[in-house]
Structure 1
Amino acid sequence: MKGKLVYLTSPFNTEVREYPIPKAEPGAVVLNMLRASVCGSDLTTWLGLHPRTSKDYPIGHEGIGEIHELGEGVSKDRAGQEVKKGDRVAFVYYPTCMECFSCLKGRFDQCTASKYNYVPTPDVYPHFIGTFATHHYLFPNQYFFKIPDNVPNEIAASANCALSQVYWGLEKGNLTSGEWLVIQGAGGLGLYGLAIAKVKGAKTIVIDSVTSRLDLAKRMGADFIININDYSSMEERVERVKEITDGQGADIALEVTGVPEAFKEGAYIIAPGGKYVELGNISPSKKTEISPAIFTRKSITIYHALRYPPTYLYKALQFLSDYKDDFPFHEFTEDKVFSLDEFDKMMDLVNKRQITRAAVVPNKTVFA
């Protein structure tokens, strides 16, 4: 039996190809993909700006699936919950080698020998490594967790990247109750960050240029919004943040735009002694000019979050289970759904910022 996957042939161009569905080796798991969301790094890859972009790349990493086959020795998820064929699971999108310098220190998020770093063409077995596909292969040592029964697919699908990574970033930055948090960008990551911040008791300011996203941010509990169309210069936005925060600036800022100029702006938005969580800028080719002295003189601590510790996926799923009815997650996670054949059309709309959180649902009928 064969499955299908989206195959990146060159920037802006993909094809759908068929490959035999792999067998699960000992310790591995094969999934039927239920839903795959578009992450900002997927857009960067499709545009040809990501460091890993290459011809014949199996694109996609964010999503959920149901168990198609369990390899020998696999009977539980990483939380010790019993699993069986047909169970819905979310997976940490990168395998860990358990042997490199980072893994031996317990920093699995920084694994330097992961197979994820050396993704081959989909022509190479087991083929199904990207998530924009009918199936997905989980390698041995790749973490996965059962999805709580009360969390629907459309809300769970972004947990294994967007929510987990923002959760990790804000906890690295030690966001606490009463602090002023500025969120630069009201896409999926920014909105998840907003939900986490509200649960933690932070006061929030969200900056974006898309009115519909800012309106949703307000419905999700943002205390203030700043529309870039109304405050067109960096100086105006910095002044507005200071006005809101009694002249001090933000205690902490979260950058999830992927725009280098936003990183520069954050240095001026943050109060002396503040904290900066940088997630969005992942393209080495995109640059901004700023003097390091501003960070030194203001004693700003910068926290970066590439991936996340695998346990944060479990925390993210529990967060959704506990708070899914407290925030209108469905308003952006149900945004638009596409088939595998509509992938390039979908990405074009994402690139134009006409969709907040697009998704592919590859199987209308799950393969037996």
Structure 2
Amino acid sequence: MMATVPTQTNPRMRLLALGGGVLLLTAWVVGAVSAFNVHEDAVASAAIARQGALAQRYALEVFESPAGADATIDALRASMSIATEAEVADAVETLVERGADMSQGASPEHRLALTRAAQAVERAADRAANERMPSYAAVFLPALIAGGAALIGVIFFIFALRKLRGRLDVPAREVSGIAEALARGDLTARAIFTDPAFRSAGDALDGAIERFGGSVSSIRDSSRGLSQSSEELTAVSHQLASGAEETSTRASAVTSAAKGVSDNVQLVVAAAEQMNASVGEIARAAREASEIAGSAVDAAQSTNASVTRLGASSAEIGQVVKVITSIAEQTNLLALNAT
């Protein structure tokens, strides 16, 4: 069951609509007054300009050429020079004074021309003053029409805003209900929009919810697989921990054995060093014995030669002894004989 929210009026919307209407009405009034003042000033300036131009042209031209009064009046009506009220008053006063002065000694034709010119100036001034009267209606009527149109626009805007808000209330309630369902973890909520303008948005929202539900299911399955994998990893980590302890024990034993082997190696190295020293002594003694044996051989050879020579000498001595013996025997014989 999809939750709904009650429809509530929004005072802020009403205040915004009312404020917009007041602003539009104020802008219309200010614009109308400004336009009226600008137009009134423009009309007054134009009237003053025409009066001043008529007076100046009349003063400069008509009194010099009374026969051309009609043409001068036509030219005066087309003049658009700019003049102030003071200049117009001075020009009219000068015009009246000069007209009075010239009318005294002028001919009847000249006097008639002056009279017509003065009347033409007065009529032109009257028309310029009267032109201000219809200008009020010319400005106020369009302003009134514009203000009415603006007021109608404000009313239409408020009506359209209320109607649009009424159309948006139902989709807002639907979306709010879906949001509450999603907040509760219910992914079966669907949007039901009867307005064709929001039906495509509802379909898109339903599709998004379905895809989100599929993603949540995939994440749930993945989390389950991840939980199993984490349990397996925990068991493997325990095995690795026990294996690491056993490996540490064996490593300690290997370290002790390696230490013993190192000690034995050091002993062997020391014995080898001693053996090398002994071998060196034996080699030195052997060299000395070899030298002594060589000396003994030389001495034996020398002794043998001496013995050989001694034997030869003994033989010679024996010969000498024999000779001596022979001599002695002979001596004895001689002695005997002598006796």
TM bin, normalised by shorter chain, reads under 0.3
- Which structure features the higher share of helix residues? 2
TM-score of the superposition, structure 1-length normalised? 0.16
